[in-house]
Amino acid sequence: MFQKLFVFILVALLVSLSCGKGEAPREEAETPAVTEAEPEAAPSKPEVTEGLVKADGLPTTAGGYTVQLGAFRDKYVAQNIASQMISRGYKGYVQKAQIAGIGLVYRVRVGAYATQEKARSVKREILNTFTMEGWIDHYVPPRATPVRVS
């Protein structure tokens, strides 16, 4: 179970390290194979706003819940994971956060759900399909400036 997640993160890290500073990951780099899930909606192309990946159709106001899949110091690892979630029909996005004592991280999140139960259901689906453990958090729309967390 954790072996797939480890391989996925390792490949994402290697892809990001193979790129020069400030470059986006190369298009010819292969992404790891992941079992297909039944998406909630048709996949959309990732939108890149302020250099961060974001699926179309996310609410612009705070409220509800989201599933966080991880927080990474490497922007390109986060971008890769979010892009893969978008290509599989999830509303993935990357959100910058300034964490006290840690610094800047890039959170990989999926969706904006009205209820905790719907967010839990998506969290379980992602765990069962992609072996990626997530957790539920309050939804705050992605924006260019980092969220500050003390």
Question: What is d(CA 101, CA 41) in angstroms, rounded to the nearest whole number?
Answer: 38
CATH 3.30.1330.10 fits 2-23+43-149, yes or no: no
Question: Does the global pTM surpass 0.75?
Answer: no
- Residue 136 · residue 116 · CB < 8 Å: yes
pLDDT digits (tens, 9 = 90+) for 85-129: 999 999 999 999 999 999 999 999 999 999 999 999 999 999 999
The CA–CA distances, whole Å, from 103 to 30, 34, 83, 148 equal: 30, 31, 23, 10
Domain boundaries, the chain: 2-23+43-149
β pairing state of 52-54 and 47-49: antiparallel
